[in-house]
Amino acid sequence: MNNQNTFILILRALALHALDFAKKLWEKRVTLFFVSFFVFLFLSLFFLGGAYVVWSGEQARVEKSLDKYRSEISNFYDSFQPKSVKILDRGGRVMGEFYRRNFRPIRTDNLKKHHTILWAVLSSEDREFFSHGGVNYTAIGRAFVTNLIQFRLSQGGSTITQQLAKLTLNLGKRNLFNKFTELYCTFYIESRFSKDEILAMYLNQIFLGEGNTGVEEAARYYFRKPATELSPEEAALLVGTIPAPSVFNPVRNLGIALSRQKRVLYDMARNPELNPVPSEIPKKFGDSIESNVKKFKTIYKIKEYKDDDGNPRYSSEIGKYGADKDFRINLAPDFNAEVRRFVLENFSNEDLEERGLLVYSTLDLDKQRMAEEALRVGVDSVRGDLIQQENTLSAKGKTELAEVTRSMLPQMSGSLISMDPETGDIEALVGGYKISNSFRFNRAEDARRQPGSTIKALVYALAFEKRVVNPSSKIVDEKLDFSGYSPKNWYKGFRGEMTVRTALAQSVNTVSVKLLHEVGLSYFLSKLGQILSLPDEEIESRFQKNLSLALGSGELSPLELSVIYSTLANGGRRVTPRKIIKITDQDGNEFYQTTPNEASEQILDPVACAMAINTLESVLTEQGTMNLKKKEGEPNLFAGKTGTVQSPKTKKSKWSGLTGVRDVWFAGFAPRNVTVVWVGHDEGAPFPGSGSGVSGGIWLKYVQSVKSKIGFGTQLISNFVGDFVKVDVCADDGTLFEHSPNYACKLPLYAQYYYIGDLPPKRAGFTKPPEPVPAHVPEEPGDSEISTYELQEGTEPPAGVDAVELEPPIIDNQRVIRSE
C-alpha cells in the first residue's frame, strides 16, 4: 500500500512539473509571438514609411512622365517633335543620328486594332488585368508557392500596372524599399488612369531588346511591319522577350526565344477570351500551333545547325534589316548600333527627346571608310575565288559540289577592328561585309572563333617575361609527345635547330607548344584572364587546359584579340576598349564622361612586350610568312602575326568533302595602332585563303591607306623605363651585329630590346654565317603559305593572294594535355 501511495505521489509530482513546464513554454511562446509580431509590425511600418518618403520625392517626376505617356496615347496626339541624338566622330563630324522613336505610338482609340499583341500580352503577363486593382494577390501567392516548391525564382506575380510603375520609376537596384515604392506608384496609376490607358502606355514603354522600346518599335525592328499586322507567332515571340529582353530576344538567343514563343502561344490557346476581337482568332488555333510555328520558321528562314562543339546555333532573317529604320544618318552601322544601345539603356525618355544629346565618340570616320573599303575588297576576293571554284566544279560535272560552293557565298564575311593601344579608343570597327546599312551580326565584338597562330604572340611574350628564352636563343624544331599529344607543323617534317625569332617568324608549331609547356598552362590562363578582365570561372569554361592553346585552340572575338595585342603594344598595361568619350546636350551640359586607358594596371613586363613586338617584326620580312618588301634604310613601322585555322576533317562531310581553311586572321602593329582582321564563313565552311594572303592583305591595305592619307608616328614601340638594353642583331643567326666590312648579314635588325645580362652572343670570328632558313621550301605543289607585298609609298597591296597556311586541324585535338 505504501508503495502504491509513493508511486501515485511520484506521478502527481511529475504531472505538476509537466504542467508547470508547459505553462512556461506557453508563456514563452506567447511572448515570442508578441515580440515577433511587434518586430514584424515595426519593420513593415519602417519599410512602408521609408518607401513612402522615396515615393513622395519621385511623385512629381512620375506624374510628368505619365502625363507625357497619356498625351501619346490620347486621341488628340501631341505633335511635339522630339530632338534627335547625334553621334559624332572624334573630329566632330556627324556619323549617326537617331530618334528615340520615329513613328506614332499605340493609342487608346486604336488599341483594339492591336488585338493579337494584346491577346499575347494578357495571356502571358496578366490574365486578370481587367479585374484586379493593380496588384494580383492570387498571382503573388501562386508564384510564392511555385518558387518555394521549385526552390528558385521561376515565377513572378507582377501585374501589367506594376511593370508600368517599375518602368516609370526606374529606381535601378531591386530591394525592399524600391518594391514598396513601386507599390505606391502602382496604386497611384490605377487610381488615375483607365485600364485601356494603362495598357496602351505599357505597350509603348515596355523594353523588348536590341534597343527597342514599345511593341510598335519592336515589331518594325524584328519583323519589318507595324504591330497591327503581327501574326500570333510574331506577337508571341515579342511577348516572350519581356521577362529578360537582353537574354530572350530573337537576335541574341533565337533558340531560347523560340522556346518561349511556344509557351506564350499555348497560353494564348488556353485564354481565347482575352482577345478583344474574338472573331480574329484563327480556327482550331490550339491544334495548329506546331504547324504554324513551322510556317513561321520558313517565312523567316530560320535554320538550326551545330557549332564545332556540337552546340545548337541558329540563323534567320528576324531583325535582319532592323538598323535601317533607327537612323536618319548611319555612316558606321556596327559601331553606331552599340552606341545607340548604350544611350537608350542609360538615359531617360525625357533626356532622349527633350535635350538633344550629342555623343562624342572615339571613331575616326576617315579610318572607318578605309577599313570598310579594305574589308570589302578582301572579302570580294575570296568570294571571287569561290565563284571560280563553283564554275570549275560545274564544268567538271560536279554539280553537287558546285551548289554547295554557291550556297557558301552569302555567309562569307569578315570583320576589322582598329584601336589606339595607349588609350583603348576604338578608331574603326566593321562587324561584317558591307552590303548596306541594314542590320548585321557584329562579328568584331560578338563572334568567337579560334584565333590560330595569332595567339603565339602572347605565348612568346610570356616566355620572354619568365626568361625561358630570348629572341636569339637556340631552340629545336622536333617531334614532340606530351602524353599522346604530338603537334605538327604547317610544313612537312621538322627543321632542327633555329633561333626563337625564326621560329615565330615562320610560325613553327612545335616551338610554340614547347614554350607554353615551359611557361605553364596555369600561368598562361591566369595572364589571359587578367588581360581580358575575365573571371576564373569563365576562363575555365572557355579555354580547356590543353597545350594546343599554343596553336589557338581557344576561342576569341576579334575585339578580345585586339585587347591582347594592345596590351603588348602599350607595354603590358590593361586595356579597356572605349567607344564614347562624353555625352552632352546641345548647350554643352555634360551627362557622361569616360577616361582614357593611359594609367591602368600593369599586367605584363614592358621589356618582354617590346621583345615580342621586335620578334613579330620578323614575320613581315623575307624570313617570315608575310614578306613586306620596303626600301633600303626605311624604318620598320609594322609588325604582326598571321593565323590560319584549317577546316577539320570531322566537318568535311557537312560540306560534301570540300577542302580549305575555316578562319584566317591577321593581328598587326603600327605606331599607336593595333588592327585585327578576321575573314571566314559564319557556319565554318572551308574556303581558299590564308592569314597572310587574305587577312594580311586587308590589314596592309588599311594601314597603308592610313599611312599615306593620315599618317602614323615614327616609333613602333613607345618609350618606357625598364631593365633593358637595345642592340643591333643579325637575324640570320641571332648574333650581335658587328659594324665591320668583314661581318656578313643578310637580315640586320636595329635597336632590338633585350634584358640586361641576357644579350645575344657574338659570332665566332667574322666568318660568313649560314644562309638563313627560308620561310618555306615547297614540299609539293600548292603547299606554300607565303605572301609577298611591295611596301612602297602611294601603292596599295592586293586584297588577297592565293596561298594556304597549313596548320593542323586543332579542333580535332580531343585529348586534354595537362602540363605545367
Q: pLDDT at residue 258 above 90?
A: yes
Has residue 554 got a pLDDT over 60?
Answer: yes
| pLDDT tier for residue 628 given thresholds of 50, 70 and 90 | confident
Among the ranges given (283-287, 427-431, 625-629), the one the predictor scored with the smallest mean pLDDT:
625-629
Cell of 585: 546636350
pLDDT reported for residue 322: 63
Q: What is the pLDDT of residue 599?
A: 65
Q: Where are the domains of the chain?
A: 85-358, 376-410+418-428+446-576+599-812
pLDDT at position 784 over 50: no
| Coil, helix or strand at residue 734 | coil
The per-residue pLDDT for range 9-68, each reduced to its tens digit, is: 554 555 555 556 556 555 555 565 555 555 555 555 656 666 677 777 788 888 888 888
Percent of the chain past pLDDT 90, that is, above it, reads: 44
pLDDT of residue 804 exceeding 50? no
Domain boundaries 376-410+418-428+446-576+599-812, CATH class: alpha beta
| Helix (H) or strand (E) segment spanning residue 679 | strand 673-681
Q: Which band of pLDDT confidence, cut at 50, 70 and 90, is reported for residue 337?
A: confident
Instruction: Give the model confidence (pLDDT) of 279-314 as tens digits.
Output: 999 999 999 999 999 999 999 999 887 766 677 888
Given this model, what pLDDT does residue 756 score? Answer: 93
For residues 383 and 386, what is the distance between their CA atoms, to the nearest angstrom?
A: 5
Rounded Cα distance, 109 and 118, in Å: 14
State which amino acid sits at residue 477. Answer: D
pLDDT (average), residues 393-400: 89
pLDDT given for residue 766 in this prediction: 52
| Greatest mean pLDDT range, 51-55, 72-76, 365-369 | 365-369
pLDDT above 60 for 782: no
Which one is predicted more confidently, 436 or 615?
Answer: 615
> Of the ranges 301-305, 330-334, 525-529, 629-633, which one carries the lowest mean pLDDT score?
629-633
Q: What was the pLDDT predicted at 54? A: 74
Note the pLDDT tens digit of each residue in 167-223.
888 776 666 667 778 888 889 999 999 999 999 999 999 989 887 889 988 998 899
**What's the pLDDT band for 150 if we cut at 50, 70, 90?**
very low
- The pLDDT, as a whole number, for residue 10 is 53
- DSSP state, residue 84: P
Query: In this structure, which amino acid lies at residue 192?
Result: R
Rounded Cα–Cα distance for residues 516 and 554 (Å): 14
Query: What is the pLDDT at residue 154?
Result: 43
Cα of 66 vs its chain's centroid, Å:
36
Cell numbers standing for residue 253: 538567343
Instruction: Judge whether residue 817 has pLDDT over 60.
Output: no
Give residue 764's pLDDT: 79
Which of 72-76, 546-550, 744-748 reaches the highest mean pLDDT? 546-550
C-alpha 163/C-alpha 758 separation (Å) is: 66
Residue 768 pLDDT > 80, yes or no?
A: no
7 pLDDT exceeds 50?
no
Q: How far apart are the first and last CA of the chain?
A: 88
Length of the chain: 820
Least confident of 106-120, 190-204, 498-512, 653-667: 653-667
pLDDT greater than 70 at residue 74: yes
Q: Looking at residue 544, what is its pLDDT?
A: 86
Residues 6+ apart with CB under 8 A from 664: 452, 642, 643, 644, 645, 678, 679, 680, 689, 690, 691, 693, 694, 695, 805
pLDDT, mean over the chain: 82
Label residue 776 by pLDDT band (50, 70, 90).
Answer: very low
Q: Grid cell 576564373 — which residue?
A: 536
For residue 164, pLDDT over 70 is answered with yes
| CB-based contact 487:548 (threshold 8 Å) | yes
pLDDT-based confidence at residue 658 (cuts at 50, 70, 90): confident
Beta strands in 390-528 (DSSP E): 412-419, 426-430, 474-477, 496-499
For 85-358, CATH number?
1.10.3810.10
Q: What pLDDT sits at residue 671?
A: 95
Instruction: Please report the pLDDT score of residue 25 as a whole number.
Output: 53
Residue 102, pLDDT above cutoff 70: no
